[in-house]
């Protein structure tokens, strides 16, 4: 569903246009674009603008090519809004965005969309993942503005998984818990906690979009169990020692993980690109001791924690670091 809404409405459509102000970055080649000719599109864009504008005093240009210096904040198909009489150093950008959400309905109240949209706004401004939260709600936005929202009973945001606070940093205590204190004995390395938390928040985002755009009632128990399974597994991933690479070791012969690898094999035969590259590589071989993976591939691999075949007892693979540069060049 796609339409135009105001951000503060109680229940926005799941796909719509977001308008944000972007400062054009100094010198360099400007983005390439073509004027929007469709009257119906123009009417839609006019409605999306934060301030009512006269059609005769505004022009819309759809971007078709983005210079390298602007790739961090502009994307193909963004619609640039040019106002008559205003400097082009300041541009309004219209971008289609999507939303998925899960309201448990148990002592949760209505979703706070103003709070949720803060995450999307932060992502557009920074070009990074963003999270906003209160006691009942978590909102996670990816850099493209795809927003996932979870709302439950009081305390949901801090109890969903162990190290969520490492991203919230709601108070001084949270900051202390991610700071190494040489006079304390830490059960987990404090500096690793934000890395683990961000990975699980990205998985929360993935899960809600996979099961959404509106997640049905009755999934709360399985949702929490899957999130905590992911969070426990991601904590076992070491920090790379040589470059951005790790070794993924398979557990294909273990009784608790065989069903996972059977599914990988079946999906590989149907469509090799339907599973992450490292799993596809393993599924294509009779025997594989390990596979070299990049740090960027880790989150995709752990999306498979949503599979029923991922055992709650044993993970289907584990990781180790490379000990020398020669090994890091293999596989």
| 148-186 confidence digits (pLDDT tens) | 999 999 999 999 999 999 999 999 999 999 998 888 888
What's residue 38's pLDDT? 83
Kindly state the average pLDDT of the residues 102-128: 93
Would 249 be classed as within a structural domain? yes
Answer whether residue 2 is part of any domain: no
What range does the domain containing 291 cover?
245-328
What HEC string does the chain produce?
Answer: CCECCCCCCCCCCCEEEEEEEEECCCCCCCCEEEECCCHHHHHHHHHHCCCCCCHHHEEEEEEEECCHHHCCCCCCCCEEEEECCCCCCEEEEEEEEEEEEEECCCCCCCCCHHHHHHHHHHHHHHCCCEEEECCCEEEEECCCCCEEEEECCCCHHHHCCCCCHHHHCCCHHHHHHCCCCCCCCCCCCHHHHHHHHHHHHHHHHHHHHHHCCECCCCCHHHHHHHHHHHHHHHCCCCCCCCCCEEEEEECCCCCCCHHHHHHHHHHHHHCHHHCCHHHHHHHCCCCCCEEEEEHHHHHHHHHHHHCCCCCCCCCCEEEECCCCHHHHCCC
State whether 109 and 91 are in the same domain.
no
**Beta carbons of 160 and 150 less than 8 angstroms apart:** yes
Residue 239 lies in a domain: no
Same domain, 208 and 110: yes
Position with higher pLDDT, 166 vs 126: 166
**Average pLDDT value for residue range 94-108:** 91
Same domain, 119 and 208: yes
Neighbour-count burial of 24, counting CB atoms closer than 10 A to its CB (0-12 exposed, 13-18 middle, 19+ buried) = middle
pLDDT of residue 6 exceeding 50:
no
Last residue of a domain, one of 233, 260, 276: 233
Query: Same domain, yes or no, for 289 and 170?
Result: no
**Euclidean distance between the first and the last CA atom of the chain, given in angstroms as a whole number:** 44
> Beta-carbon neighbour count of residue 318 at 10 Å?
16
What's the rounded mean pLDDT across residues 43-59? 75
Residue 46 shares a structural domain with residue 126: no
Which among 16, 274, 309 is positioned nearest to 145, based on CA atoms?
A: 16
Quick check: is 253 in a domain? yes
Q: Range with the lowest mean pLDDT among 19-23, 93-97, 115-119, 287-291?
A: 19-23
Length of the chain: 331
Q: State the pLDDT at residue 31.
A: 62
In a domain, 87, yes or no: yes
Listed residue (15, 19, 9, 91) closest to 48, CA to CA: 19
pLDDT bracket for residue 193 (50, 70, 90): very high
More confident residue, 22 or 117: 117
**Mean pLDDT in residue range 297-325:** 94
Indicate whether 9 belongs to any domain: no
Check: CB of residue 298 under 8 Å from CB of residue 199: yes
Q: Which of 96, 111, 138 is the last residue of a domain?
A: 96
Among residues 213, 233, 253, the one where a domain terminates is 233
Q: 102 and 91, same structural domain?
A: no
Of the listed ranges 84-93, 156-165, 196-205, 228-237, the one predicted with least confidence: 84-93
> Does 3 have pLDDT greater than 50?
no
Rounded Cα gap, residues 179 and 174, in angstroms: 9
Residues 166 and 225 in one domain: yes
pLDDT above 70 for 331: no
Same domain, 115 and 170: yes
pLDDT exceeds 80 at position 248: yes
Say what the pLDDT of residue 74 is: 77
Number of structural domains found in the chain:
3
> Using 50, 70 and 90 to split pLDDT, how confident is the model at 118?
very high
On whether residue 109 sits in a domain, the answer given is: yes
Are residues 287 and 297 in contact, defined by beta-carbon separation less than 8 angstroms?
Answer: no
Q: By mean pLDDT, which of 120-124, 227-231, 276-280, 321-325 is the weakest? A: 321-325
Q: Do residue 43 and residue 154 come from a single domain?
A: no
Pair (112, 183) in one structural domain: yes
The pLDDT of residue 10 is above 50: no
The residue with tokens 């949270």 is: 174
Q: With 0-12 CB in 10 A as exposed, 13-18 as middle and 19+ as buried, what is 29?
A: exposed
As a whole number of angstroms, the longest Cα–Cα distance in the chain is 70
pLDDT of res. 19: 67
Average pLDDT over residues 69-88: 76
109 and 210 share one domain: yes
Q: Is residue 297 part of a domain?
A: yes
Are residues 68 and 161 located together in one domain of the fold?
no
């Amino acid at each position: 569903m796609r339409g135009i809404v105001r951000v503060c409405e109680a229940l926005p459509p799941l796909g719509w246009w977001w308008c944000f102000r972007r400062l054009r970055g100094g010198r360099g080649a400007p983005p390439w674009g073509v004027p929007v000719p469709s009257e119906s599109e123009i009417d839609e864009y006019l409605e999306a603008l934060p301030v009512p504008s006269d059609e005769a005093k505004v022009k819309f240009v759809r971007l078709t090519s983005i210079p390298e210096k602007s790739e961090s904040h502009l994307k193909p198909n963004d619609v640039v809004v040019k106002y008559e009489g205003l400097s082009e150093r300041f541009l309004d950008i219209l971008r289609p965005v999507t939303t998925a959400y899960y309201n448990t309905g148990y002592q949760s109240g209505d979703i706070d969309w103003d709070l949720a949209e803060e995450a999307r706004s932060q992502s557009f401004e920074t070009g990074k993942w963003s999270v906003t939260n209160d006691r009942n709600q978590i909102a996670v936005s990816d850099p493209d503005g795809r927003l996932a929202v979870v709302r439950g009973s009081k305390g949901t945001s801090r109890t969903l998984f162990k190290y969520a606070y490492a991203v919230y940093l709601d108070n001084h205590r949270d900051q202390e818990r991610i700071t190494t204190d040489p006079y304390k004995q830490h059960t987990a390395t404090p500096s690793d906690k934000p890395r683990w938390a961000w990975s699980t928040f990205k998985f929360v985002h993935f899960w809600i979009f996979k099961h959404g755009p509106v997640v049905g009632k009755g999934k709360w128990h399985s949702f929490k169990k899957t999130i905590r399974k992911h969070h426990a597994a991601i904590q076992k991933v070491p920090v790379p020692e040589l470059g951005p690479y790790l070794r993924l070791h398979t557990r294909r012969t273990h009784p608790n993980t065989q069903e996972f690898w059977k599914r990988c094999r079946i999906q590989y035969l149907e469509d090799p690109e339907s599973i992450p590259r490292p799993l596809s590589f393993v599924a294509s071989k009779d025997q594989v001791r390990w596979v070299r993976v990049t740090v960027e591939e880790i989150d995709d691999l752990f999306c498979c924690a949503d599979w029923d075949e991922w055992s709650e007892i044993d993970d289907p693979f584990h990781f180790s670091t490379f000990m020398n540069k020669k090994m890091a060049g293999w596989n």
